[in-house]
Structure 1
Amino acid sequence: MSAAPGPPGGAPVLLLDAASLYYRAFHGVPSSLTAPDGTPVNAVRGFLDAVALLVDVHRPARLVACWDEDWRPAFRVAALPSYKAHRVGADGAEDTPPQLVPQVDVIVRVLAALGLARAGAAGHEADDVAATLAARAVAAGGRGPVLVVTGDRDLFQLVDDRAGVGVLYVGKGVRRAERVDEAWLRERYGVDGRGYADLAALRGDPSDGLPGVAGIGQKTAAALLARFGDLAGVRAAAADPSSDLPAGQRRRLLEAAAYLDAAPVVVRTVRGAPVPEVDGALPAAPADPGALAELTERWGLGGSVQRVLAALERARTP
């Protein structure tokens, strides 16, 4: 069993970037896994198996599946129209594989029947939900460390060793997850959690439609941030003719002024999103055993559901 060790300090609060997990399950688990009627359930089963593994390894005190209520929020598009524009389908919605769409609804219903918490925020992405719930957990205190489970590097900005917030990065799969703390970030990116959003803005991210600053890659961005402190400091140096910033970098930064005005709105998570209050305590028993049994039979989820139930039972056992 893997999934990387959890953070020190007691039972963690696990915040799952749900879309990241079910997309990876959809693409990583064979579509030959089907319901009795032949409908693919690879994303459902992969997602549930990931939850079971995470609960078994980390024995969380609380778990919340963070949901995209809006995968491309209007406030981010207004700031930067290219944000995720390449993912927009012909109907204006997210270009999602047809075989995945119905599986997401099944995941929602199974989570509800199990009694596992799910939370979203109108007009916001799951990243904002995770950031908000992490901030609330830190403010509440006494609830153990926070571990955000994601395959999205954007959430590295939440890493804060002193606050007890880490990321479990599942870019290589849940079983090969990497525990991300500030030392991990400094080794790979040259910044800590607080600096990661500024790094991403300077470097750009084609997967999200962020062009970055021409000619400034990851190493140069990290060096600029190490020298000038943050994005505001880098921009101030570029605007100051007396600074010893190389002429080429100065020119590129000044030419990218409009982009750099907008990028922080897109890149930085919202830590005060309107997320309803959610406890996230692990259920002592399924919230709706009848519905769970019906869903299990209808979609052929027996093994996966049983693994989640067994993991939850073990997590409740001292």
Structure 2
Amino acid sequence: MSTKVSLLSLGGTIFMSQDASGGNARPDDSAGERLLATVGGGAEITSRALANISSSDVRPHHLADVLEHARAAVDAGAAGVVLTHGTDTLEETAFLLERYWDREAPLVVTGAMRPASDIGADGPANLRDAVRAATASSARGLGVLVAFDGHAHLPDQVTKASSRSVSAFASAPSGPLAIIAPDDLRLLHRPLPRTVRLPGSPPDHFPAVPVLAAGLDEDLALLDHVPPEQLAGLVIAGVGMGHVSPAAMPRLRRLLEGAIPVVVASRTWSGGTSTHHYAYPGSEVDLLDAGAVMAGLLPPAKARLLLQTLLADGAAPERIREAFGAFVS
């Protein structure tokens, strides 16, 4: 099996350096060369910096660029592809890439919580593990993976669970997919078949789909001041199993009656939405009766991306409902 790995970079903390005080980390183009020198492991690595930006600055056109280069590298004989990325939106990028990645070779996303200049930098180990995952025989056919702190995660389940810890990522409901060993992945469970695949690459710009959070004394009154024509869709970060206040329901019904899709996720970290537990006004049953779609196990940020990709692909309401149904337990 080939040991060639294509390393693509969009930057992030893994390619940042701090000032003398140990703070104020900023992108550092020289950090990449120093980091590559630490990887080792016998893999033949070719690298290309596509950008050196924070993850909050990543746009769909960056990910289209990633897919173009990643596909070309695999078609030219690379065993796999590694993408370095900032951690703040890493889970969203991995989730989005998973919708479009169409090769047997793995596409592994990684990053770091500590800058390259930090005495306890975690980037070298994460990059080494990402390269190992990219060449692992067990990783073939699994699609996009996230490599962090010695574990491989599935993009549909992984989330950034800490804004500070080097063990920043966790997966729900199944936990990490595998421990990354020097010779292969040690699978901790067998993944389900990959779902909701789309052709091509993301468009340069996604349709406008905001996320609004439900909560105590939140009636979503903001919707009274947003012209419906400015919304392609809406995602609600609902409380509990996907609930809103009764006073919010007339506003959501107006959107749904105007053929604007409304997807309801849970703002709770695990457990997702339900379809049948509660039937009071504003509950999941009430929302479903009004025509809303439940996001299931997808958190609000990923629900937004899935709805945007489907709308960009011209999906009709039934296809949208079917796509989210793959995440409903």
Fold equivalence (TM over 0.5): no
Greater per-residue helix proportion? 1
TM-score range, shorter chain: 0.3 to 0.5
Greater per-residue strand proportion? 2
Greater relative contact order (CA < 8 Å, ≥ 6 in sequence): 1
Q: TM-score scaled by structure 2?
A: 0.37
